């Protein structure tokens, strides 16, 4: 049996609220000091934690300023500053870093720290380069800054770009992120069907004969073979698919509807010579004839995430990933162009678009290619 312990502390002269202890003296004057719960642990970010150095170096100054704001007497501030120094030392901070921060905060008048701060105006013309913090972050920063002139030398881009971009870093995944799962996997009743992978015919539709019955596909450009790790048949929705004609040209597409519904549209387009469909245009150009020769394989099924999220966006991102990976915009691919827009996220506070470079470069193999994303962003 689990018990929930509720406790009530009360006093006519003292009250604790968050990190604040408010007390009343004999004259009825109020005083403030720092409050820590008896169960409080030293959770200051470790000095050797993998963060940008400026961030860890600024933590002591921020904490000493907080003490100065809260402690209303010099004596109380000094007592708590000594305790704070011990806490920082226990977390691996160098004495000179702590001492410099202590001195800097000591010189600030308390009235100035308590005065409301004026919010700085955000510059809406600023271009942000956001990427994950890593060992290479400084090198990336230098590459972007030293090549910025290339972008500025373009007559169109020059108008849209600032003198230099603001480079900011997202936190890298921690061991906790890697090892701890906040969602337990659903308990599923496994059948022989759940172990099936790859493409399968449903067995009772008009399009089964176009389906390639296999659990892998081969990229004609690189010769690599890719496993299809999910079960896909004519009735599967949210699929990235690969169409192939008899001469080996291919097209990468996606659908959120049933795969057979999208295939029916491609076949209809071939029959009617619809110029909106690249495969239909190719069939007409080389006189492939009947669309019976058209082959389709689903290459990835986007499953509904346990965390929710935008499934359609993930489908669009995976389509772009496969177009890029299989070089589908080059011969023998038939795709028109690579679309980066599914990777853009609108920043509601700053009112600008950011590139969501997940895992830094899942889509882009070299950091220098991030510049092309900036160009894309700015032009579009």
Q: From 200-208, 264-272, 307-315, 321-329, give the range in contact with Zn ion by CB under 5 A.
A: 200-208
Q: Which residue is at the shortest CB distance from Zn ion?
A: 234
Distance of CA 268 to the CA centre of its chain: 39
Query: What's the alpha-carbon Rg for the chain, to the nearest Å?
Result: 30
Q: From 150-158, 169-177, 195-203, 264-272, give the range in contact with Zn ion by CB under 5 A.
A: 195-203
The number of residues that bind Zn ion (CB under 5 A) is: 7
Task: Confirm or reject binding of residue 205 to Zn ion (CB under 5 A).
Answer: yes
Alpha-carbon span 202 to 172, nearest angstrom: 43
One residue of 108, 113, 130, 202 binding Zn ion per CB under 5 A: 202
- Helix or strand run (H / E) with residue 32: strand 30-34
Bridge partners of residue 34, in order along the sequence: 20
Task: Confirm or reject binding of residue 239 to Zn ion (CB under 5 A).
Answer: no
Task: Confirm or reject binding of residue 240 to Zn ion (CB under 5 A).
Answer: no
101 vs 334, which CB is nearer to Zn ion?
334
Closest among 297, 316, 296, 300 to 230, alpha carbons compared: 300
SS3 220: coil
Task: Confirm or reject binding of residue 167 to Zn ion (CB under 5 A).
Answer: no
Alpha-carbon span 108 to 113, nearest angstrom: 7
DSSP string, 221-251: TT--EEE--SEEETT--SEEEEEE-TTS-EE
Alpha-carbon span 208 to 97, nearest angstrom: 70
Q: From 201-209, 215-223, 329-337, 368-376, give the range in contact with Zn ion by CB under 5 A.
A: 201-209
Q: From 14-22, 24-32, 173-181, 243-251, give the range in contact with Zn ion by CB under 5 A.
A: 243-251
Distances (CA, A) of 236 to 259, 262, 358: 6, 11, 27
Q: From 79-87, 132-140, 162-170, 244-252, give the range in contact with Zn ion by CB under 5 A.
A: 244-252
Do 234 and 296 form a contact (C-beta atoms < 8 A)? no
Distances (CA, A) of 34 to 98, 115, 138, 175, 198: 19, 19, 38, 32, 61
207 vs 318, which CB is nearer to Zn ion?
207
284 vs 313, which CB is nearer to Zn ion?
284
Q: From 24-32, 80-88, 171-179, 248-256, give the range in contact with Zn ion by CB under 5 A.
A: 248-256
Q: From 24-32, 75-83, 85-93, 241-249, give the range in contact with Zn ion by CB under 5 A.
A: 241-249
Six-digit token string for 139: 């090198």
Q: Using omega within 30 degrees of 0 as the cis cutoff, is the peptide bond preceding 332 cis?
A: yes
- Minimum CB separation of residue 359 from Zn ion in Å reads 36
Determine whether 66 is exposed, middle or buried from the number of CB atoms within 10 Å of its CB (0-12, 13-18, 19+): middle
161 vs 291, which CB is nearer to Zn ion?
291
Site string for Zn ion, 218-237 (x = CB under 5 A): ----------------x---
Task: Confirm or reject binding of residue 247 to Zn ion (CB under 5 A).
Answer: yes
> For the chain, how far is it from start to end, CA to CA, in angstroms?
60
93 vs 238, which CB is nearer to Zn ion?
238
157 vs 208, which CB is nearer to Zn ion?
208
> 227: Cβ–Cβ under 8 A, 6 or more apart, which residues?
197, 215, 216
57 vs 237, which CB is nearer to Zn ion?
237
Q: Which of residues 291-310 bind Zn ion (CB under 5 A)?
A: none
249 vs 266, which CB is nearer to Zn ion?
249
Pairing of strands 198-200, 128-132: unpaired
186 vs 203, which CB is nearer to Zn ion?
203
- Minimum CB separation of residue 247 from Zn ion in Å reads 3
One residue of 21, 68, 242, 249 binding Zn ion per CB under 5 A: 249
161 vs 252, which CB is nearer to Zn ion?
252
One residue of 98, 245, 252, 374 binding Zn ion per CB under 5 A: 245
Binding site for Zn ion (CB under 5 A): 202, 205, 208, 234, 245, 247, 249
């Amino acid at each position: 049996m689990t018990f929930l312990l509720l406790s009530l502390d009360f006093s006519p002269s003292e009250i604790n609220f968050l990190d604040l202890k408010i007390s009343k003296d004999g004259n009825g004057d109020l005083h403030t000091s720092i409050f820590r719960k008896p169960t409080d642990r030293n959770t200051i970010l470790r000095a050797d934690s993998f963060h940008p150095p400026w961030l860890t170096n600024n933590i002591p100054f921020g904490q000493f300023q907080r003490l100065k704001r809260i402690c209303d007497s010099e004596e109380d501030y000094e007592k708590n500053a000594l305790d704070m120094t011990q806490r920082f030392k226990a977390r691996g901070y160098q004495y000179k870093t702590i001492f410099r921060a202590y001195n800097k905060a000591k010189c600030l008048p308390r009235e100035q720290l308590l005065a409301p701060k004026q919010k700085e105006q955000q510059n809406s013309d600023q271009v942000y380069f956001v990427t994950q913090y890593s060992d290479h972050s400084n090198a990336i920063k230098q590459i972007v800054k030293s090549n910025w002139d290339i972008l500025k030398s373009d007559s169109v881009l020059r108008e849209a770009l600032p003198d230099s971009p603001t480079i900011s870093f997202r936190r890298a995944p921690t061991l906790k992120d890697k090892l701890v799962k906040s969602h337990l996997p659903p308990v599923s009743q496994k059948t022989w069907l759940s172990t099936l992978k790859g493409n399968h015919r449903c067995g009772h539709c008009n399009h089964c004969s176009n389906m390639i019955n296999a659990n892998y596909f081969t990229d004609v450009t690189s010769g690599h073979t890719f496993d299809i790790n999910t079960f896909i048949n004519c009735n599967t929705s949210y699929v990235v698919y690969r169409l192939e004609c008899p001469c080996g040209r291919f097209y990468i597409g996606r659908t959120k509807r049933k795969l057979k519904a999208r295939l029916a549209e491609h076949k209809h387009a071939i029959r009617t010579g619809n110029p909106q469909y690249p495969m239909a245009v190719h069939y007409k150009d080389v006189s492939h004839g009947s669309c019976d020769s058209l082959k389709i394989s689903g290459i990835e099924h986007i499953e509904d995430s346990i965390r929710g999220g935008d499934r359609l966006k993930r489908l669009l991102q995976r389509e772009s990933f496969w177009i890029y990976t299989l070089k589908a915009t080059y011969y023998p691919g038939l795709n028109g162009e690579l679309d980066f827009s599914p990777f853009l996220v609108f920043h509601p506070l700053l009112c600008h678009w950011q590139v969501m470079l997940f895992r830094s470069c899942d889509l882009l193999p070299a950091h220098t290619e991030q510049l092309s994303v900036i160009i894309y962003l700015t032009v579009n």
